[in-house]
Structure 1
């Protein structure tokens, strides 16, 4: 399970690197996102067809009554993916990259608190050190994401509508991102098991299929209005993004299942691990410099991981 966890982290770091590359090489983002969803479906289908992902017969599963709830969830979340992407883009434009990124990253607090306080399904009893680690994880995300030069002050807007949106949208992104993670967490809980372990490949393909159909409809509408176009760079970028993106969701479900739905442990450790590795990758690949505040955030992140998972570390030895 540790290997799957590491692969999940690396898949998400690859997604970050792809988006960072989009900005550097001028890749039109939305067309690339649409291509990415198509590639996700093809990647998952290929792995199932080759027997590399354990799966029951696809059409039989889709028609089964037991899978009906998972089917509806996949349809809803597939459309939700496009909506969350649009909200992230709008938030970035109105409030800045730092605010948008922080809102999405810190949203792991939602599934964590739901696991601890509502579902009470954490795989261990959380003590003071674990809660301290969770608090430090939130702090670390804020410190690492802090980029004052890219932040936009909402009070600068003369248009009242834009000013209010600049304040409200980060909160909406926080809630949407947290809802997505919580929904994934819910589908694999042992006492619910909406998506069985051998159905996770099909569920992932279905999610991306719905997202892809939604994206194609939106893209076609914008294309006919001559607001977007498909370029060679978008196709290449979409292919590069699609392969790790499929595994980011598939491995998320696998890891949550392996940890018995314990999102209270999985999400904070995962998010700050991605931030740590992505920061290092950005330094070497894109020569991004880290401020003193960012470096302090990385140190706090490491300490937070140790506090959140110290029982598991002790058990390993």
Structure 2
């Protein structure tokens, strides 16, 4: 249970750190790039046997696809940060956690690797999850649509950010599940994630170099520091989640629903406590529906 709680803690920390970037004038993209340098370093520190990398075939199909996964890492992370900053921490957390619907759908209809028969209750949970996501984003529109007389408020088009976060996070998780199962042994999960983060470093650094040369951007110390700080909870959130999975017999269908529920609720509470984010009635309803949706999706594993 300790691993479980630590995973939730570090995941929520991610949202809160990225939410603070505008206050400290941290360039989000720069921070995301350097965050993956920190992820790789953190992963290497936590790898019990670094000799495992000597057995990696860097030109194999699996390794190249894992490196390419880094582009999805960068995309998803940028969208999470933008959603947290431009909409709210709650909306970003809701979108990220409800994205479990996507790997579930792919597991059912594409990979056909589900280990249970989905019932009408499970499918109702999937539909309810989409409704919860919509309500989580709508609350901001409701709150800002009355802003007038030059009052600063996010434009309506920004409301698409949680939806894009939902799609990117879901795609990311689907690819992680697919590649890790197809190309890596169970004990190589940490190696797999470090290779994916190396891919994110390569892709992110290439894009950053382009911005520096052609857009005249400059790297500031606060961007580097912000990214290096972010990388630690980024890697640890997954690291402890994997340990939690192992402690519960690798029952992902049981662990992930509880993990997602706790993350959403703690994120909403922390955002209210630290950033004074006020939840509208629709936002609260979205959180409630999200909890109900996840329970419906996995009620069998939860023993209900």
TM range (shorter): 0.7 to 0.9
Where does residue 174 of structure 2 map in the other structure?
182
Where does residue 130 of structure 1 map in the other structure?
122
Where does residue 291 of structure 1 map in the other structure?
280
Q: How does 1:134-145 map to 2 (within 5 A)?
A: 134-145=126-137
1:93-126 deviation digits (Å, cap 9, x = unpaired): 9xx647x957666543221111123333333322
**SS class of match (2:100):** helix
Where does residue 15 of structure 2 map in the other structure?
16
2:79–2:165 contact (8 Å) kept in structure 1: yes
| 2:44 maps to 1:45 | yes
1:56–1:199 contact (8 Å) kept in structure 2: no
Match of 1:221 among 205, 210, 216: 210
After superposition, the CA RMSD in angstroms is 3.6
2:75–2:168 contact (8 Å) kept in structure 1: no
* Aligned-partner Cα distance in 2 for 1:178–1:85: 12
* Aligned-partner Cα distance in 2 for 1:211–1:91: 20
* Aligned-partner Cα distance in 2 for 1:75–1:302: 34
**SS class of match (2:118):** coil
Where does residue 161 of structure 1 map in the other structure?
none
* Aligned-partner Cα distance in 2 for 1:181–1:87: 15
Compare 81-90 and 286-295 and name the one that shifted more: 81-90
| 2:53 maps to 1:59 | yes
Where does residue 147 of structure 2 map in the other structure?
none
* Aligned-partner Cα distance in 1 for 2:30–2:43: 20
Where does residue 232 of structure 2 map in the other structure?
243
Offset of residue 201 of structure 1: 1.2
1:114-164 deviation digits (Å, cap 9, x = unpaired): 11233333333222333323332332232233311266446xxxxxxxxxx
1:144–1:293 contact (8 Å) kept in structure 2: yes
* Aligned-partner Cα distance in 2 for 1:314–1:31: 45
- TM-score, normalised by the number of residues in structure 1: 0.75
Give structure 2 stretches of 5+ with no counterpart. Answer: 145-152
* Aligned-partner Cα distance in 2 for 1:131–1:186: 22
1:82–1:211 contact (8 Å) kept in structure 2: yes
Match of 1:74 among 66, 76, 79: 66
Offset of residue 267 of structure 1: 5.6
- TM-score, normalised by the number of residues in structure 2: 0.78
1:265–1:308 contact (8 Å) kept in structure 2: no
2:87–2:159 contact (8 Å) kept in structure 1: no
| 2:103 maps to 1:114 | no
Compare 22-31 and 117-126 and name the one that shifted more: 117-126
Structure 1 residues 103 and 152 mapped into 2: Cα distance closer, same or farther (>3 Å)? farther
1:276–1:301 contact (8 Å) kept in structure 2: no
2:132–2:290 contact (8 Å) kept in structure 1: yes
Offset of residue 71 of structure 1: 0.9
Offset of residue 72 of structure 1: 1.6
Aligned residues: 290
1:131–1:308 contact (8 Å) kept in structure 2: yes
Structure 1 residues 306 and 291 mapped into 2: Cα distance closer, same or farther (>3 Å)? same
* Aligned-partner Cα distance in 2 for 1:129–1:313: 14
**SS class of match (1:312):** coil
Compare 81-90 and 142-151 and name the one that shifted more: 81-90
* Aligned-partner Cα distance in 2 for 1:124–1:223: 50
